[in-house]
Structure 1
């Protein structure tokens, strides 16, 4: 957590790390807990392709991910959600805690996140949530594409 905080402070980013007692496992749980619109939750999904791993940061009200659209966007033959052990190996975090800030992975961002001043997502550590502006998030990661 200290590395994340130091990085965000160094970048001069407006953010908040929110600690909570319960694990938040779904976008709806996050929206209910924080009293926010479900679209403000920003799950980070790890995708496995024939060209390596990618992170997809979506708005919590996204619905079903269109893997055919992602295959065309990323120009890959195969794409699927990474298995829990792969997620942990690639990110150092368990599913449900994956950090929004992924320095080493190419990122696909959902444009619908920009509807909100702030979005809420993982820090890499259980029972903590990162509140950050979507524009700042985009600047901090290696965004390679957008959906929606």
Structure 2
């Protein structure tokens, strides 16, 4: 296990999360690649996407089958503008690289929204703080460990 994965695993244990971190030989840069590696549906991949919401970090944990509807989220969250964050902003806010951002383990709490569509999957796979690692969890556990709120994040 890498030191990054060990630290992430320790954070999961501190939060009482049940899943074990799985490390891959190569990067899993997309939801489709992760789903293929894990033999699961793309919709069961929980992408941790960082945006800016009126300048503040916003973490959206979206189903891999969805594209985030930022305008809909602006209305739902009562913010003026949501934009995709730069890689530098992502790393500063999360302490993790783009493509490997996990739902927890950030230097400071980040406002978090969890895609309701993930509830349709008994097991969802989320990033584990590195481009080579993921962990199994559930929709309810994601809400609990992130302190996030459930929302529709995709265009319907």
Q: Residue deviations 1:7-66, cap 9 Å, x none?
A: 32234322020010110111111111111011111111101021511100011111x321
Distance in 1 between residues matched to 2:6 and 2:25, nearest whole Å? 19
Partner of residue 86 from structure 1, selected from 76, 86, 89: 89
**Contact in 2 for aligned 1:93/1:124 (Cα 8 Å):** yes
- TM value normalised by structure 1: 0.91
Structure 1 unpaired stretches of 5+: none
Residue equivalent to 2:37: 33
- When residues 71 and 12 of structure 1 are mapped into structure 2, their CA distance, relative to the original with a 3 A threshold, is closer
Partner of residue 69 from structure 2, selected from 66, 70, 76: 66
Residue equivalent to 2:135: 130
**Contact in 1 for aligned 2:124/2:138 (Cα 8 Å):** yes
Q: Residue deviations 1:66-115, cap 9 Å, x none?
A: 11101111211111110111101111111100012256101111111011
Structure 1 residue 145, shift from structure 2 partner: 4.4
Structure 1 residue 130, shift from structure 2 partner: 1.4
**Contact in 2 for aligned 1:40/1:113 (Cα 8 Å):** yes
Residue equivalent to 2:100: 97
Match of 1:120, SS?
strand
Distance in 2 between residues matched to 1:10 and 1:53, nearest whole Å? 23
**Contact in 2 for aligned 1:84/1:95 (Cα 8 Å):** yes
**After TM superposition, what 4+ stretches of structure 1 lie above 6 angstroms from structure 2?**
none
Structure 2 unpaired stretches of 5+: none
Distance in 2 between residues matched to 1:144 and 1:31, nearest whole Å? 25
Residue equivalent to 2:24: 20
Residue equivalent to 1:77: 80
